[in-house]
Chain A
Amino acid sequence: MLAIRKKSLTELSQEVGITMANLSILKKGKARAIRFSTLNAICKVLDCQPGDILQYERDDEAKS
């Protein structure tokens, strides 16, 4: 989505209002949970739906 919207991580972090460290946690898939407010802000900035940025992975697939 970032590539489509031609935005860098820094720009996204500034526009959404979350730190680079948190954005990095999200990007690497290490996050345990995401607040609705964060999801709302990201979707608003990227003009997309949650399904466009979230993807379901089975636990065994994620480990491998």
Chain B
Amino acid sequence: MKTAKTPLSIKIIFWGTQVILGLFLLVCLAIIVFNVLLFTDFFGNDLQLHTRFPVKVNILETGNLYLNDMNIKVELVEGINQIHFFNTPLFLARWFGSALLIVAAVLMYILLSFRKFVMNVKKHVIFVQENILHLKNISYALLTLWVFTIIYVRIIYEVIGKNVEFEHVEILEDYPNFAGILMLSLFIWVLSHIFMTGVKLQEEQNLTV
């Protein structure tokens, strides 16, 4: 029987996944080492933490835009924020470290499941129960990540956003909803159900003489 050739796109996705997985493994090791150091009190309160601050803000800054010989008055209203602590209290650093560890673990699980799925596709093993399981696992992991992110953002607002004051920045009680992660999770879940039908059709095909 002639075996079909693996398409170039699948090969590229497979090798891309391998590279990303390898790099992410290094990131995970760094995160684990960082957490070990945090929990063994290696840094004390001297750690200068620089982290994302996922809370919407109004930057109360007006400026001028020079375009087509016109002077247009503009105001900067929203920004992507990162927060830098000059001396991070240990409890806060540990909290950030733990959150990072959880996110890294979930992302690693997603990457590993995706790699197994792509490997199967590369070997032309497509409509099988194993692939449905991988897709469902990716979908549930993404959903977990979305729930965790929503809770994390809320906590960040309650703990930091409510209590921080800046001269030209107004913190809003409005957070990103990360709908993209939720949509991706739902899409993959629907895809797993399409694969279920595919498995049934494949079985029919295999048992047709």
Which residues of chain B have C-beta atoms less than 8 A from A33's C-beta? 204, 207-209
> Any chain B CB within 8 A of the CB of A6?
no
Which residues of chain B have C-beta atoms less than 8 A from A35's C-beta? 208-209
Q: Give the tally of cross-chain contacts (CB within 8 A).
A: 23
Complex interface residues of chain A between 1 and 57 (CB less than 8 A to chain B): 18, 22-23, 25-26, 30-35, 38
Which residues of chain A have C-beta atoms less than 8 A from B209's C-beta? 18, 22-23, 25-26, 31, 33-35, 38
Q: How far is the CA of A18 from the CA of B204 in the complex (A)?
A: 17
How many B residues face the partner with a CB closer than 8 A?
Answer: 5
* Identity of the chain A residue whose Cβ is nearest the Cβ of B1 in the assembled complex: A19
Q: How far is the CA of A23 from the CA of B207 in the complex (A)?
A: 11
Q: How close is B204's CB to chain A, nearest CB, in angstroms? A: 5
Which residues of chain B have C-beta atoms less than 8 A from A31's C-beta? 207-209
Q: How far is the CA of A38 from the CA of B207 in the complex (A)?
A: 13
Which residues of chain B have C-beta atoms less than 8 A from A34's C-beta? 208-209
* Identity of the chain A residue whose Cβ is nearest the Cβ of B208 in the assembled complex: A33
Which residues of chain A have C-beta atoms less than 8 A from B208's C-beta? 31-35
* Identity of the chain A residue whose Cβ is nearest the Cβ of B204 in the assembled complex: A32
Q: How far is the CA of A33 from the CA of B204 in the complex (A)?
A: 8
Which residues of chain A have C-beta atoms less than 8 A from B203's C-beta? 32
Complex interface residues of chain B between 193 and 209 (CB less than 8 A to chain A): 203-204, 207-209
Q: How close is B83's CB to chain A, nearest CB, in angstroms? A: 61
Binding site for A on B (CB under 8 A): 203-204, 207-209
Q: List 23 A-B contacts (CB under 8 A).
A: A18-B209, A22-B209, A23-B209, A25-B207, A25-B209, A26-B209, A30-B207, A31-B207, A31-B208, A31-B209, A32-B203, A32-B204, A32-B207, A32-B208, A33-B204, A33-B207, A33-B208, A33-B209, A34-B208, A34-B209, A35-B208, A35-B209, A38-B209
4 more CB-based (< 8 A) A-B contacts, given A25-B207, A25-B209 = A18-B209, A26-B209, A31-B207, A32-B208
